Amino acid sequence: MLNMKKVSKSKKYMAVSMSGARPDGLFAWLNRAFWGVWLAFPVYLWIVVRDILGQARALTVLAPDQAACLAGLPLVTSFSLPGKLVFWAGFGLNFLLFALVLGLAHSVIRSCAQGRLFVAPLVRVLGWIALIITLFPVWDLGLSNLMAVALVATGDLPAFLPDLAFDVTVFGVGLLLLAIAAAMRQAMGLQRDAELTI
């Protein structure tokens, strides 16, 4: 005869956190640290934008030989209006993607800090993070080349030089996270099956 108590428990397993689980000290600390990261994020964005806009000024303080080497590089501030729109659109898309991954990672850490371990929402979010990280090198490569083509079309770059630098490290980390998420889903499935055992 089927144990109805176990069936009821298994139905709640995917939505309810581990009863009485205490937040892990490390995860609680990481959760607080993430709030610090969010506070620092606008400052980091401002520093990056300031450095991009200050490229021309930075050349004036370099040694003559260093300035000569960098003088041929395109400066965003010297781009035409369409070229600036292309550059800042690509820049904004990458930063939005970074913020998305950061937000998803924070939600995983917060869930763990609250004791909600091995639950469906956490594994699902981890899978999304893994997928984004795995596809990011492809996205970045495609976006870089697309921006270069667009900047050549606007006259801000003299010629198209394809970017073939594929980030194998980030791709490998993404695949590892995908494997971990798949293993967690399988473990949860085995746990559910065990609870449904007659």
What's the confidence (pLDDT) of residue 8? Answer: 46
What's the confidence (pLDDT) of residue 198? Answer: 55
What's the confidence (pLDDT) of residue 117? Answer: 75
Joined together, the tokens standing for residue 122 give 């956490």
What's the confidence (pLDDT) of residue 104? Answer: 94
Task: Give CA–CA dist 180/173, Å, rounded.
Answer: 11
How many C-alpha atoms does 73 have within 13 Å on its Cβ side?
12
Q: Which amino acid is at 70?
A: L
What's the confidence (pLDDT) of residue 68? Answer: 53
Joined together, the tokens standing for residue 163 give 């970017």
Task: Give CA–CA dist 144/86, Å, rounded.
Answer: 11
Contact 126, 185 (CB under 8 A): no
Low-confidence spans in the chain with pLDDT less than 70: 1-24, 56-73, 193, 196-198
